[in-house]
Amino acid sequence: MMKLAVANIKGGVGKTTSSMYVAQAVVDRGGVATVYDADPQSSASLWADAARDNGEELGFKVLPANLSTLSRLGRDERPDVWRIVDAPPQGKLLQAAIESADFVLVPTSDSPMDLQQAWAMLDEARASRPAAVLVVRAEPYTSAYRQTLDALAEAGTPRFDTVIPKRQSIKKALGSRPRRLYEYRDLLTELQAIAKDLNGAKVVR
Ligand SMILES: Nc1ncnc2c1ncn2[C@@H]1O[C@H](COP(=O)(O)OP(=O)(O)O)[C@@H](O)[C@H]1O
Ligand SMILES: [Mg+2]
């Protein structure tokens, strides 16, 4: 089992989108996923409700989460069970989201300006959990993209090799079951390797 928190103190960086796409990628690969919506903006819940209204089957549950829920995410021995927390931008609930997780994914855009918040979030997360940055909504071949990746490399920031490009179909995915997962499939492959490492570490300890 893997418990993943998707967190950033900055809003509009792709937390909800990444939570939903990773969950769908898990399901498409035969696993079981649940998204815990811990953000008061409740975009993940809205997405699931809109999907239901549209008669779409997401294939995973989206549940509202509070401090109590997050402290009881529990443990499941099956390796293909994923609990994904769409974290809020601040406060006790953000801290609880981080502590509920085995690993923290920090999405950030390919704007160098957004990096400050991503680094701040990463530092906060890494005080208690392993964490890495995911560059999303990227426009490769632009100077902002290059600058962002250079700055991450220069700072030695842990990041996923997978980068999620900006895509119209991802932008319009709210309320639907993501049919094409694009680079999120590669991201899940990376996450599965991390999950395996984390589980191995537990056995050794
Ligand atoms: N890869 C992408 N390509 C295009 N638009 C994206 C992509 N990822 C996210 N978005 C859009 O960016 C906005 C913010 O994403 P969202 O997941 O709601 O962020 P957050 O949960 O951090 O507030 C939304 O309009 C979403 O559709
Ligand atoms: Mg959101």
CB 88 within 8 A of CB 94: yes
Q: Which CATH superfamily is domain 2-204 in?
A: P-loop containing nucleotide triphosphate hydrolases (3.40.50.300)
Tell me the pLDDT tens digit for each residue of 186-198.
999 999 999 999 9
Q: What is the pTM of this model?
A: 0.97
Continuous segment of H or E residues that includes residue 81: strand 81-86
Q: Which helix (H) or strand (E) holds 171?
A: helix 168-171
Give, for ligand 1, the residue of 90, 109, 171, 183 to mutate: max count of ligand atoms closer than 8 Å to Cβ.
171
Ligand 1 atom at minimal distance to the Cα of residue 13? 22
Q: If you measure from the C-alpha of residue 12 to the centroid of ligand 2, how many angstroms do you get, rounded to a whole number?
A: 7
Contact in structure between 74 and 67 (CB atoms under 8 Å): no
Residue 82 parent element (H or E): strand 81-86
Q: Decide: 148 and 135 in contact? Cβ < 8 Å.
A: yes
Identify the pLDDT of residue 200: 81
Degrees to nearest 5, angle at CA 59 with 30 and 188: 50
Q: CA angle, 47 as apex, 92 and 26 as ends, to 5°?
A: 85
pLDDT digits (tens, 9 = 90+) for 5-27: 999 999 999 999 999 999 999 99
Question: Is the predicted pLDDT of residue 51 greater than 70, yes or no?
Answer: yes
Convert the pLDDT of each residue in 87-139 to its tens digit: 999 999 999 999 999 999 999 999 999 999 999 999 999 999 999 999 999 99
Ligand 1, residue 10: give the atom nearest the CA: 22
